[in-house]
Structure formats: structure tokens, C-alpha cells
Structure 1
């Protein structure tokens, strides 16, 4: 199974791509420009030379076409044009959306949330992809870039996901849980993304307050998603 990280040259996307590639997943890193994706992948392989990374770079459209599962890791301002640009390649695919509507998109503070007409960024993606059969899942919103980049340390954080298709969520959890330390928690239908996404600015604010880069979330007393 090929996993394409759309907009994967930023800190979050690259962190996810590297973690999954280290875990043995075949990863495609997408970017608006193929050249940038190729350069970032080459640098990642150089920096992580101790690992045999099965990772290549492509333009976002080609990455979406080639990938079996897509992970969207772009800022809010780029979300709509990026999803529209890959829409034709999303037919019947799982699309994990890590977009968070932060006020930074309009020049504000990173610990403030922007309310969207669709209810959440993940629901906006689902709205754009209506009619394609794509199964949209809110995922990776609450895991900091610092955690992802802190290789090879395990990530002491749960990954909250939400989506309307149980089978797609099980597949997503199987992929996410390949990253050491992460436990995937299914919060329910896609509408729950409205809550998941709002946790991120809270965590950012806590990291700022306590001068940390590794603030995360653990859910206790609840079993991880059953992938069987």
C-alpha cells in the first residue's frame, strides 16, 4: 500500500512521511512543485541514512494519483486549492486530513481557532470531494511537528481520528499505529472533527505557556481502535 503525503514538504508532512517510511511503508511526498519534493526527499534520505527509506517525491497531483491512501498536510489557506487540484485522483480513496483552522491563516495567533462554515477543515475537504467516493478522516491534528521530527524517539501522544466509514478508519489506524508510541483513538463520525481540531490550538497555547515543544494528548480508560 502506497501512502501519499500531500503537501508533504512542510514540517508536519515530512515528519509523518519519514516516520511511516522508517516503519516500512512505501511513501510518496507531494508538493506543489515536483522539484521541491525531490529535493526534500533527497535531504531526508541523507539525514536518515541509517534507515532504508522507501520514499520518493512527486508533484501533488501525481502523488495523489499514485497513492492508495492520501494524507493532507497543508495550511488552511492552501487546503481548498490543494484538494480541488487532486480531486480527480481521490476516487474511492481514504483521505486523512490533518488541516487545522488556526487564526494564523488570517494573520492571527496560533492558539486561536477559526470557525469554518462547514464546521471543520475535514468536513470542508469532504464537501469538496463529494461524489468521488473518497472516505475522509480527520487525523494527525494533535501531534506536534517536534514529536514527529524527534526520530527515533517514540511519540508519547494519541492520534484522535474521526470519520463516517468504519472500515476506512480501521485502515487509517493500521497505518498510523506503525509510528512507535502512537495509539489511535476513534472518536466517532466526521462531525467530531470539529472538536478534534479545536484541541490543537489549546496544545499550542500550552506549549507556549510552558516553553515546550512536546505537549500532547493521551486518552486513558478507552481502548485503541480495533483494526480487526
Structure 2
């Protein structure tokens, strides 16, 4: 299975690509600029101390979407719609994971504040735009990039997964659990992403207040 990271040169995308590459997944690092994608792949190779890493490939966002089996959108909020427009024709029928966190910091405000979207959440906005053919799942938005790139340590955070297509959530949850320390939790329908996405600015606030970078969330009692 090929995992396409759309916006794979940003902090979150690079972190996910790094972790999936380390676990042996086939990773397609997408970017608007192929040179930036190539640079991201080189960073991953250097961090994993492997100059010949056959399971990681640089592509444009469109190429990565076309060739990927699971598509993961990791761009900031202000780039969400323009990126969706560029890849929409290649998403039909595929599992599409939205990791967007609607943070005010993405549009010039505070990173500890949530932006209320008309559709309810960033993931629901993707679903509304992509249409019924896309199997949209919300995941990974609460796992910090710093935790993902700290490859010598397990990630101390659960992955909260929401989606209306139960069959689409299963491989996403399995993929999440290839990251050491991560437990995937089914949080129900996609509309629950409205709650899950709001946890991200809270975690950012905790990081700032405590002068750390690795705050995560665990669900107990399950």
C-alpha cells in the first residue's frame, strides 16, 4: 500500500512521512514544488541514516495523489482549499485522510485559538468539496510534529480517528499504529472531527505554557 503525504514538506507531513518510512511503508512525499519534495526525501534519508531508501519517493502533490492508495493531507488551513482543488480529480474512491487543524495562527492570529468553519470542521470541509466518491477520514491532527520527528522516542499520543466510512477507518487506524507508542481510537462519525480538531490548539497552549513541544493526549479506560 502506498501512502501519499500531500504537503509532505511541512513539519507535520515530514514527520508522518519519516515515521511511515521508518516502519517500512511505501511513502510518496508530495509538494507543489518537486525540488522541495526531493529535499524532504533527502532529510528523511539523513535522519534514518540511509542514503538508499527505496520506499520513499518525491512527487508533486498531483502525482502523489494519483499514485497513492491512502492520501493524507497535511497542509496548513490557509492552503487546504487550493490544495484540494489541485488534487480533486485524482482522489475518487480512495481513502482521504485530513490532518488539518483549523488554527487561528494559520491566518495571522494566535496558534492557541480554533477557527470555526462553516462546514463544522476542516475534515468535513474536505468531504463537502471532494464529494461522495472520496472516503474522508479525520486523523493525525493531534500528534505533534515534534513528537513525530523525535524518532528515537515513542510518540506519547493516541490517534483519534473519525469518519463515516467504517471500512476506510480500519486501514488508517492500522497505519497509525505502525508509529511506536501510538494507539488509534475510533471516535465515530466524521462530524466528531469538530471536537477532535479543537484539541490541537489546547495541546499547543499546553506546550507553550510548559515550555515543551511533545504534549499529547491519551484516552484511558478503553
TM-score class normalised by the smaller sequence = over 0.9
5 Å-filtered alignment, 1:17-96, equals 17-50=17-50, 53=53, 54-96=55-97
Q: Which residue in the other structure is 1:116 paired with?
A: 117
RMSD (CA atoms): 1.1
Whole-angstrom distance in 2 between the partners of 1:181 and 1:87: 33
Q: Which residue in the other structure is 1:226 paired with?
A: none
Is 1:157 matched with 2:157?
yes
Maintained 8 Å contact 1:22/1:51: no
The C-alpha deviation readout for 1:23-48, integer Å capped at 9, x for no partner, is 01000000011111012212321232
Maintained 8 Å contact 1:4/1:28: yes
5 Å-filtered alignment, 1:163-202, equals 163-202=163-202
Instruction: Report the more deviating stretch, 42-51 or 135-144.
Output: 42-51
Whole-angstrom distance in 1 between the partners of 2:220 and 2:51: 33
Q: What secondary structure is seen at the aligned counterpart in 1 of 2:141?
A: coil
Maintained 8 Å contact 1:3/1:26: yes
TM-score normalised by length of structure 1:
0.94
TM-score normalised by length of structure 2:
0.97
Maintained 8 Å contact 2:61/2:87: yes
Aligned length: 221
Q: What secondary structure is seen at the aligned counterpart in 2 of 1:118?
A: coil
* Superposed structure 1 runs of 4+ greater than 6 Å apart: none
Maintained 8 Å contact 2:15/2:149: yes
